[in-house]
Structure 1
Protein backbone atom coordinates (compact mmCIF):
# COMPACT_ATOMS: atom_id res chain seq x y z
CA UNK A 1 0.00 0.00 0.00
CA UNK A 2 2.86 2.36 0.84
CA UNK A 3 4.61 1.57 -2.45
CA UNK A 4 1.37 2.18 -4.35
CA UNK A 5 0.91 5.53 -2.61
CA UNK A 6 4.50 6.53 -3.31
CA UNK A 7 4.13 5.48 -6.94
CA UNK A 8 0.98 7.57 -7.38
CA UNK A 9 2.64 10.57 -5.75
CA UNK A 10 5.64 10.23 -8.05
CA UNK A 11 3.40 10.09 -11.13
CA UNK A 12 1.47 13.17 -9.97
CA UNK A 13 4.72 15.06 -9.39
CA UNK A 14 5.97 14.05 -12.84
CA UNK A 15 2.69 15.15 -14.42
CA UNK A 16 3.00 18.54 -12.73
CA UNK A 17 6.58 18.73 -13.99
CA UNK A 18 5.42 18.13 -17.58
CA UNK A 19 2.76 20.84 -17.32
CA UNK A 20 5.08 23.31 -15.57
CA UNK A 21 7.80 22.82 -18.17
CA UNK A 22 5.62 22.99 -21.28
CA UNK A 23 2.93 25.52 -20.41
CA UNK A 24 5.18 28.62 -20.17
CA UNK A 25 6.93 27.77 -23.44
CA UNK A 26 3.75 26.92 -25.36
CA UNK A 27 2.17 30.00 -23.72
CA UNK A 28 -1.35 29.59 -25.15
CA UNK A 29 -2.39 33.03 -23.84
CA UNK A 30 0.22 34.80 -25.97
CA UNK A 31 -0.38 32.47 -28.90
CA UNK A 32 -4.12 33.22 -28.74
CA UNK A 33 -3.35 36.94 -28.82
CA UNK A 34 -1.12 36.43 -31.86
CA UNK A 35 -3.84 34.44 -33.65
CA UNK A 36 -6.64 36.89 -32.93
CA UNK A 37 -6.41 38.09 -36.51
CA UNK A 38 -7.29 34.55 -37.57
CA UNK A 39 -10.10 33.97 -35.06
CA UNK A 40 -11.81 37.31 -35.62
CA UNK A 41 -14.58 37.03 -38.16
CA UNK A 42 -14.79 33.24 -38.13
CA UNK A 43 -18.14 31.57 -37.82
CA UNK A 44 -18.56 30.06 -34.30
CA UNK A 45 -18.66 26.51 -35.67
CA UNK A 46 -15.49 27.05 -37.71
CA UNK A 47 -13.80 28.72 -34.75
CA UNK A 48 -14.57 25.73 -32.51
CA UNK A 49 -13.40 23.28 -35.15
CA UNK A 50 -10.16 25.20 -35.69
CA UNK A 51 -9.40 25.38 -31.96
CA UNK A 52 -10.13 21.66 -31.61
CA UNK A 53 -7.91 20.69 -34.55
CA UNK A 54 -5.01 22.82 -33.32
CA UNK A 55 -5.23 21.34 -29.80
CA UNK A 56 -5.35 17.81 -31.24
CA UNK A 57 -2.36 18.39 -33.49
CA UNK A 58 -0.45 19.90 -30.57
CA UNK A 59 -1.14 16.80 -28.47
CA UNK A 60 0.26 14.37 -31.02
CA UNK A 61 3.22 16.62 -31.83
CA UNK A 62 4.20 17.06 -28.18
CA UNK A 63 3.65 13.43 -27.17
CA UNK A 64 5.65 12.26 -30.17
CA UNK A 65 8.50 14.64 -29.30
CA UNK A 66 8.49 13.59 -25.64
CA UNK A 67 8.38 9.85 -26.16
CA UNK A 68 10.40 9.39 -29.36
CA UNK A 69 12.32 12.65 -29.74
CA UNK A 70 15.50 11.32 -28.14
CA UNK A 71 15.48 8.26 -30.41
CA UNK A 72 15.11 10.45 -33.48
CA UNK A 73 17.93 12.75 -32.34
CA UNK A 74 20.18 9.75 -31.71
CA UNK A 75 19.45 8.43 -35.19
CA UNK A 76 20.52 11.73 -36.77
CA UNK A 77 23.43 12.24 -34.37
CA UNK A 78 22.03 15.43 -32.81
CA UNK A 79 22.71 16.10 -29.12
CA UNK A 80 20.05 17.30 -26.71
CA UNK A 81 22.25 20.32 -25.97
CA UNK A 82 22.02 21.42 -29.60
CA UNK A 83 18.23 21.12 -29.46
CA UNK A 84 18.09 23.17 -26.25
CA UNK A 85 20.36 25.91 -27.57
CA UNK A 86 18.77 26.04 -31.02
CA UNK A 87 15.22 25.87 -29.70
CA UNK A 88 15.96 28.47 -27.05
CA UNK A 89 17.30 30.86 -29.66
CA UNK A 90 14.14 30.43 -31.75
CA UNK A 91 11.94 31.05 -28.69
CA UNK A 92 13.95 34.16 -27.78
CA UNK A 93 13.76 35.53 -31.32
CA UNK A 94 10.01 34.86 -31.42
CA UNK A 95 9.53 36.65 -28.10
CA UNK A 96 11.59 39.61 -29.29
CA UNK A 97 9.68 39.88 -32.56
CA UNK A 98 6.36 39.91 -30.68
CA UNK A 99 7.71 42.40 -28.16
CA UNK A 100 8.91 44.81 -30.85
CA UNK A 101 5.95 44.38 -33.20
CA UNK A 102 4.13 47.55 -34.17
CA UNK A 103 0.98 47.81 -32.06
CA UNK A 104 -0.77 49.70 -34.85
CA UNK A 105 -0.30 46.93 -37.39
CA UNK A 106 -3.48 46.01 -39.12
CA UNK A 107 -5.05 42.62 -38.98
CA UNK A 108 -4.96 40.37 -41.99
CA UNK A 109 -8.05 39.05 -43.64
CA UNK A 110 -6.84 35.45 -43.61
CA UNK A 111 -9.78 34.47 -41.43
CA UNK A 112 -12.07 35.10 -44.40
CA UNK A 113 -10.40 32.34 -46.39
CA UNK A 114 -12.64 29.29 -46.61
CA UNK A 115 -9.57 27.04 -46.35
CA UNK A 116 -8.63 28.25 -42.86
CA UNK A 117 -9.08 24.73 -41.44
CA UNK A 118 -6.54 23.43 -43.95
CA UNK A 119 -3.92 25.59 -42.24
CA UNK A 120 -4.67 24.17 -38.80
CA UNK A 121 -1.39 22.23 -38.66
CA UNK A 122 0.86 24.62 -40.56
CA UNK A 123 1.29 27.36 -39.60
CA UNK A 124 -1.26 27.56 -36.73
CA UNK A 125 -0.08 24.48 -34.83
CA UNK A 126 3.56 24.52 -35.89
CA UNK A 127 5.35 26.83 -35.51
CA UNK A 128 2.86 29.39 -34.07
CA UNK A 129 1.63 27.23 -31.17
CA UNK A 130 4.18 24.43 -30.79
CA UNK A 131 7.48 25.64 -32.16
CA UNK A 132 11.09 24.46 -31.88
CA UNK A 133 11.27 25.70 -28.28
CA UNK A 134 8.30 23.61 -27.16
CA UNK A 135 9.60 20.59 -29.05
CA UNK A 136 13.05 20.96 -27.48
CA UNK A 137 11.51 21.14 -24.01
CA UNK A 138 9.39 18.05 -24.75
CA UNK A 139 12.47 16.16 -25.97
CA UNK A 140 14.38 17.20 -22.85
CA UNK A 141 11.53 15.96 -20.67
CA UNK A 142 11.53 12.66 -22.54
CA UNK A 143 15.25 12.28 -21.89
CA UNK A 144 14.95 12.86 -18.13
CA UNK A 145 11.45 11.65 -17.24
CA UNK A 146 12.27 7.91 -17.00
CA UNK A 147 15.06 8.69 -14.54
CA UNK A 148 12.75 10.96 -12.52
CA UNK A 149 10.23 8.12 -12.24
CA UNK A 150 12.89 5.43 -11.70
CA UNK A 151 11.66 3.65 -14.82
CA UNK A 152 13.70 1.50 -17.18
CA UNK A 153 12.31 3.08 -20.36
CA UNK A 154 9.79 5.58 -21.69
CA UNK A 155 7.35 2.69 -22.23
CA UNK A 156 6.93 2.32 -18.47
CA UNK A 157 3.27 2.83 -17.41
CA UNK A 158 4.30 5.59 -15.00
CA UNK A 159 6.12 7.49 -17.74
CA UNK A 160 3.25 7.05 -20.19
CA UNK A 161 0.61 8.17 -17.67
CA UNK A 162 2.56 11.27 -16.64
CA UNK A 163 3.32 12.14 -20.27
CA UNK A 164 -0.20 11.68 -21.63
CA UNK A 165 -1.98 13.39 -18.72
CA UNK A 166 0.47 16.32 -18.54
CA UNK A 167 0.38 17.00 -22.27
CA UNK A 168 -3.40 16.55 -22.36
CA UNK A 169 -3.77 19.26 -19.70
CA UNK A 170 -1.55 21.62 -21.72
CA UNK A 171 -3.57 20.95 -24.88
CA UNK A 172 -6.86 21.50 -23.03
CA UNK A 173 -5.53 24.91 -21.99
CA UNK A 174 -4.66 25.59 -25.65
CA UNK A 175 -8.20 24.76 -26.71
CA UNK A 176 -9.75 26.95 -24.01
CA UNK A 177 -7.51 29.94 -24.82
CA UNK A 178 -8.13 29.63 -28.56
CA UNK A 179 -11.83 28.87 -28.26
CA UNK A 180 -12.53 31.94 -26.12
CA UNK A 181 -9.91 34.29 -27.58
CA UNK A 182 -12.52 36.62 -29.08
CA UNK A 183 -14.44 36.82 -25.80
CA UNK A 184 -11.23 37.60 -23.91
CA UNK A 185 -10.38 40.33 -26.40
CA UNK A 186 -13.79 41.94 -25.92
CA UNK A 187 -13.40 41.72 -22.14
CA UNK A 188 -9.89 43.18 -22.06
CA UNK A 189 -10.36 45.74 -24.81
CA UNK A 190 -7.69 46.78 -27.29
CA UNK A 191 -5.31 48.23 -24.68
CA UNK A 192 -5.72 45.29 -22.28
CA UNK A 193 -5.09 42.79 -25.05
CA UNK A 194 -1.92 44.65 -26.05
CA UNK A 195 -0.68 44.63 -22.44
CA UNK A 196 -1.21 40.86 -22.19
CA UNK A 197 0.56 40.35 -25.50
CA UNK A 198 3.56 42.47 -24.50
CA UNK A 199 3.93 40.79 -21.10
CA UNK A 200 3.60 37.34 -22.65
CA UNK A 201 6.17 38.24 -25.30
CA UNK A 202 8.64 39.39 -22.64
CA UNK A 203 8.13 36.19 -20.65
CA UNK A 204 8.63 34.19 -23.85
CA UNK A 205 11.90 36.07 -24.50
CA UNK A 206 13.13 35.27 -20.98
CA UNK A 207 12.14 31.60 -21.36
CA UNK A 208 14.13 31.37 -24.58
CA UNK A 209 17.22 32.87 -22.93
CA UNK A 210 16.82 30.45 -20.01
CA UNK A 211 16.60 27.45 -22.36
CA UNK A 212 19.80 28.57 -24.10
CA UNK A 213 21.59 29.07 -20.76
CA UNK A 214 20.49 25.64 -19.54
CA UNK A 215 21.69 24.00 -22.76
CA UNK A 216 25.08 25.72 -22.58
CA UNK A 217 25.45 24.88 -18.88
CA UNK A 218 24.60 21.20 -19.43
CA UNK A 219 26.97 21.05 -22.39
CA UNK A 220 29.86 22.56 -20.38
CA UNK A 221 29.18 20.17 -17.50
CA UNK A 222 29.26 17.24 -19.90
CA UNK A 223 32.61 18.42 -21.29
CA UNK A 224 34.10 18.73 -17.79
CA UNK A 225 33.05 15.17 -16.98
CA UNK A 226 34.97 13.78 -19.97
Structure 2
Protein backbone atom coordinates (compact mmCIF):
# COMPACT_ATOMS: atom_id res chain seq x y z
CA UNK A 1 0.00 0.00 0.00
CA UNK A 2 2.88 2.36 0.77
CA UNK A 3 4.39 1.67 -2.64
CA UNK A 4 1.13 2.53 -4.40
CA UNK A 5 0.73 5.68 -2.31
CA UNK A 6 4.29 6.79 -3.06
CA UNK A 7 3.82 6.08 -6.77
CA UNK A 8 0.58 8.05 -6.85
CA UNK A 9 2.27 10.99 -5.10
CA UNK A 10 5.08 11.02 -7.67
CA UNK A 11 2.58 10.86 -10.53
CA UNK A 12 0.58 13.77 -9.10
CA UNK A 13 3.78 15.77 -8.63
CA UNK A 14 4.23 15.88 -12.41
CA UNK A 15 1.05 17.87 -13.25
CA UNK A 16 1.41 19.98 -10.08
CA UNK A 17 4.88 21.03 -11.26
CA UNK A 18 4.36 21.25 -15.02
CA UNK A 19 0.90 22.77 -15.39
CA UNK A 20 1.80 26.13 -13.79
CA UNK A 21 4.75 26.31 -16.19
CA UNK A 22 2.76 25.26 -19.25
CA UNK A 23 -0.23 27.44 -18.27
CA UNK A 24 -2.43 26.39 -21.22
CA UNK A 25 -4.66 29.42 -20.67
CA UNK A 26 -1.78 31.65 -21.77
CA UNK A 27 -1.76 30.09 -25.26
CA UNK A 28 -5.55 29.85 -25.56
CA UNK A 29 -5.85 33.18 -27.39
CA UNK A 30 -3.19 32.12 -29.91
CA UNK A 31 -5.01 28.83 -30.37
CA UNK A 32 -8.27 30.65 -31.07
CA UNK A 33 -6.43 32.83 -33.58
CA UNK A 34 -5.52 29.64 -35.47
CA UNK A 35 -8.85 27.80 -35.43
CA UNK A 36 -11.25 30.73 -35.49
CA UNK A 37 -14.75 29.55 -34.55
CA UNK A 38 -14.46 26.04 -36.03
CA UNK A 39 -15.11 23.55 -33.22
CA UNK A 40 -14.10 20.50 -35.26
CA UNK A 41 -10.75 22.01 -36.13
CA UNK A 42 -10.25 23.02 -32.51
CA UNK A 43 -10.70 19.40 -31.39
CA UNK A 44 -8.30 18.11 -34.02
CA UNK A 45 -5.58 20.66 -33.34
CA UNK A 46 -5.91 20.31 -29.55
CA UNK A 47 -5.58 16.53 -29.87
CA UNK A 48 -2.41 16.82 -31.97
CA UNK A 49 -0.85 19.32 -29.56
CA UNK A 50 -1.65 17.00 -26.63
CA UNK A 51 -0.04 14.02 -28.40
CA UNK A 52 3.09 16.01 -29.24
CA UNK A 53 3.34 17.31 -25.67
CA UNK A 54 2.90 13.80 -24.24
CA UNK A 55 5.78 12.45 -26.30
CA UNK A 56 8.07 15.33 -25.39
CA UNK A 57 7.34 15.15 -21.65
CA UNK A 58 7.75 11.37 -21.41
CA UNK A 59 10.91 11.32 -23.52
CA UNK A 60 12.51 14.15 -21.53
CA UNK A 61 11.68 12.59 -18.17
CA UNK A 62 13.03 9.18 -19.18
CA UNK A 63 16.13 10.20 -21.16
CA UNK A 64 17.08 13.47 -19.47
CA UNK A 65 18.98 11.81 -16.61
CA UNK A 66 21.22 9.84 -18.98
CA UNK A 67 22.01 12.98 -20.95
CA UNK A 68 23.04 14.66 -17.71
CA UNK A 69 25.21 11.68 -16.80
CA UNK A 70 26.89 11.91 -20.18
CA UNK A 71 27.90 15.52 -19.42
CA UNK A 72 28.78 14.77 -15.77
CA UNK A 73 26.05 16.96 -14.23
CA UNK A 74 24.90 15.91 -10.75
CA UNK A 75 21.27 15.64 -9.63
CA UNK A 76 21.45 18.45 -7.01
CA UNK A 77 22.84 20.82 -9.63
CA UNK A 78 19.99 19.86 -11.97
CA UNK A 79 17.45 20.62 -9.26
CA UNK A 80 19.02 24.00 -8.51
CA UNK A 81 19.34 24.92 -12.19
CA UNK A 82 15.82 23.79 -13.00
CA UNK A 83 14.45 25.60 -9.96
CA UNK A 84 16.20 28.83 -10.93
CA UNK A 85 14.83 28.60 -14.46
CA UNK A 86 11.31 27.91 -13.21
CA UNK A 87 11.54 30.75 -10.67
CA UNK A 88 12.87 33.13 -13.35
CA UNK A 89 9.96 32.21 -15.61
CA UNK A 90 7.51 32.89 -12.77
CA UNK A 91 9.17 36.22 -11.98
CA UNK A 92 8.80 37.34 -15.59
CA UNK A 93 5.14 36.31 -15.50
CA UNK A 94 4.57 38.28 -12.29
CA UNK A 95 6.16 41.37 -13.82
CA UNK A 96 4.46 41.08 -17.19
CA UNK A 97 1.88 43.71 -18.08
CA UNK A 98 -1.46 42.83 -19.59
CA UNK A 99 -0.76 45.12 -22.54
CA UNK A 100 2.77 43.81 -23.14
CA UNK A 101 3.45 42.77 -26.72
CA UNK A 102 3.27 39.06 -27.52
CA UNK A 103 6.37 36.99 -28.06
CA UNK A 104 7.66 36.46 -31.62
CA UNK A 105 6.34 32.88 -31.56
CA UNK A 106 2.87 34.09 -30.57
CA UNK A 107 2.91 36.77 -33.24
CA UNK A 108 3.87 34.21 -35.85
CA UNK A 109 1.10 31.83 -34.75
CA UNK A 110 -1.55 34.52 -34.57
CA UNK A 111 -0.69 35.78 -38.06
CA UNK A 112 -1.12 32.39 -39.73
CA UNK A 113 -4.05 31.67 -42.00
CA UNK A 114 -6.84 29.50 -40.58
CA UNK A 115 -6.47 27.12 -43.53
CA UNK A 116 -3.16 25.73 -42.31
CA UNK A 117 -3.32 25.49 -38.49
CA UNK A 118 -2.45 21.81 -38.33
CA UNK A 119 0.93 22.55 -39.87
CA UNK A 120 1.69 24.60 -36.75
CA UNK A 121 0.72 21.83 -34.30
CA UNK A 122 4.33 21.21 -33.30
CA UNK A 123 5.90 24.64 -33.87
CA UNK A 124 4.98 26.99 -32.36
CA UNK A 125 1.92 25.49 -30.59
CA UNK A 126 3.67 22.51 -28.95
CA UNK A 127 7.14 24.05 -28.76
CA UNK A 128 7.69 26.63 -27.40
CA UNK A 129 4.14 27.75 -26.46
CA UNK A 130 3.13 24.55 -24.62
CA UNK A 131 6.28 22.61 -23.75
CA UNK A 132 8.98 25.25 -23.79
CA UNK A 133 12.48 25.27 -22.27
CA UNK A 134 11.13 25.80 -18.73
CA UNK A 135 8.83 22.81 -19.03
CA UNK A 136 11.58 20.57 -20.39
CA UNK A 137 13.98 21.66 -17.64
CA UNK A 138 11.35 20.78 -15.04
CA UNK A 139 10.81 17.41 -16.77
CA UNK A 140 14.52 16.62 -16.48
CA UNK A 141 14.39 17.51 -12.79
CA UNK A 142 11.31 15.36 -12.20
CA UNK A 143 12.80 12.41 -14.04
CA UNK A 144 16.25 12.69 -12.48
CA UNK A 145 17.33 9.92 -10.13
CA UNK A 146 20.41 9.22 -8.07
CA UNK A 147 22.18 6.04 -7.01
CA UNK A 148 21.89 2.62 -8.59
CA UNK A 149 18.99 2.20 -10.98
CA UNK A 150 17.25 -1.12 -10.40
CA UNK A 151 14.63 -2.69 -12.67
CA UNK A 152 11.99 -1.63 -10.11
CA UNK A 153 13.19 1.97 -10.32
CA UNK A 154 13.05 1.83 -14.10
CA UNK A 155 9.50 0.47 -14.11
CA UNK A 156 8.32 3.03 -11.56
CA UNK A 157 10.03 5.79 -13.53
CA UNK A 158 8.21 4.78 -16.70
CA UNK A 159 4.88 4.63 -14.85
CA UNK A 160 5.43 8.04 -13.28
CA UNK A 161 6.44 9.59 -16.62
CA UNK A 162 3.49 8.12 -18.52
CA UNK A 163 0.91 8.65 -15.78
CA UNK A 164 2.04 12.18 -14.97
CA UNK A 165 2.33 13.20 -18.62
CA UNK A 166 -1.14 11.78 -19.31
CA UNK A 167 -2.67 13.96 -16.58
CA UNK A 168 -0.85 17.00 -17.93
CA UNK A 169 -1.92 16.55 -21.54
CA UNK A 170 -5.52 15.84 -20.56
CA UNK A 171 -5.67 19.27 -18.94
CA UNK A 172 -3.94 20.82 -21.94
CA UNK A 173 -6.30 19.10 -24.37
CA UNK A 174 -9.53 20.08 -22.62
CA UNK A 175 -8.31 23.64 -22.07
CA UNK A 176 -7.45 24.11 -25.73
CA UNK A 177 -10.47 22.15 -26.84
CA UNK A 178 -12.67 24.71 -25.05
CA UNK A 179 -10.38 27.67 -25.73
CA UNK A 180 -13.01 29.47 -27.81
CA UNK A 181 -15.44 29.53 -24.88
CA UNK A 182 -12.74 30.19 -22.28
CA UNK A 183 -11.29 33.22 -24.05
CA UNK A 184 -14.77 34.72 -24.39
CA UNK A 185 -15.82 34.10 -20.78
CA UNK A 186 -12.62 34.96 -18.93
CA UNK A 187 -11.91 38.20 -20.74
CA UNK A 188 -8.65 40.18 -20.53
CA UNK A 189 -8.96 41.05 -16.82
CA UNK A 190 -9.69 37.48 -15.81
CA UNK A 191 -6.72 36.27 -17.83
CA UNK A 192 -4.41 38.69 -15.99
CA UNK A 193 -5.65 37.55 -12.57
CA UNK A 194 -5.24 33.89 -13.54
CA UNK A 195 -1.74 34.53 -14.85
CA UNK A 196 -0.66 36.22 -11.61
CA UNK A 197 -2.00 33.38 -9.44
CA UNK A 198 -0.32 30.76 -11.59
CA UNK A 199 2.94 32.74 -11.59
CA UNK A 200 3.00 32.88 -7.79
CA UNK A 201 2.49 29.11 -7.48
CA UNK A 202 5.20 28.60 -10.08
CA UNK A 203 7.60 30.84 -8.14
CA UNK A 204 7.04 28.77 -5.01
CA UNK A 205 7.73 25.56 -6.94
CA UNK A 206 10.98 26.98 -8.30
CA UNK A 207 12.16 28.01 -4.84
CA UNK A 208 11.29 24.57 -3.51
CA UNK A 209 13.37 22.92 -6.23
CA UNK A 210 16.33 25.18 -5.48
CA UNK A 211 16.04 24.46 -1.74
CA UNK A 212 15.89 20.69 -2.31
CA UNK A 213 18.97 20.85 -4.52
CA UNK A 214 20.84 22.97 -1.99
CA UNK A 215 20.05 20.52 0.82
CA UNK A 216 21.35 17.65 -1.33
CA UNK A 217 24.57 19.56 -2.09
CA UNK A 218 25.22 20.41 1.54
CA UNK A 219 24.44 16.83 2.62
CA UNK A 220 26.86 15.39 0.05
CA UNK A 221 29.51 17.93 1.06
CA UNK A 222 29.15 17.02 4.74
CA UNK A 223 29.37 13.31 3.93
CA UNK A 224 32.57 13.87 1.95
- 1:223: Cα distance to partner? 1.6
1:106-145 paired onto structure 2 within 5 Å: 108=107, 110-114=109-113, 115-144=116-145
1:10 counterpart = 2:3: yes
Q: Distance in 2 between matches of 1:193 and 1:166?
A: 26
Q: Distance in 1 between matches of 2:147 and 2:129?
A: 29
Structure 2 length as normaliser, TM-score? 0.79
Residue aligning to 2:39: 44
Q: 1:222 to 1:130 in 2, by over 3 A?
A: farther
Residue aligning to 2:158: 160
Q: Distance in 1 between matches of 2:111 and 2:132?
A: 25
- Structure 1 unaligned regions, length at least 5: 1-5
Q: Secondary structure at the match of 2:125?
A: helix
Residue aligning to 2:221: 223
Q: Deviations over 1:133-182 (max 9, x none)?
A: 433443344344999xx9535443x4433432232122111211222233
- Regions of 4+ moved over 4 Å: 106-109, 144-147
Q: Secondary structure at the match of 2:151?
A: coil
Q: Distance in 2 between matches of 1:122 and 1:111?
A: 12
Q: Distance in 1 between matches of 2:128 and 2:206?
A: 15
Residue aligning to 2:97: 102
Q: Deviations over 1:81-109 (max 9, x none)?
A: 23222222221222122221221246647
Q: Distance in 1 between matches of 2:220 and 2:127?
A: 31
RMSD across aligned positions (CA): 3.0
1:80-99 paired onto structure 2 within 5 Å: 80-99=75-94
- Structure 2 unaligned regions, length at least 5: none
Contact 1:47 1:179 in 2 (8 A): yes
Contact 1:30 1:200 in 2 (8 A): no
Q: Distance in 2 between matches of 1:169 and 1:224?
A: 38
Structure 1 length as normaliser, TM-score? 0.78
- 1:195: Cα distance to partner? 0.8
Q: 1:173 to 1:223 in 2, by over 3 A?
A: same
Q: Distance in 2 between matches of 1:167 and 1:201?
A: 21
- 1:29: Cα distance to partner? 8.8
Residue aligning to 2:190: 192
Q: Distance in 2 between matches of 1:199 and 1:211?
A: 19
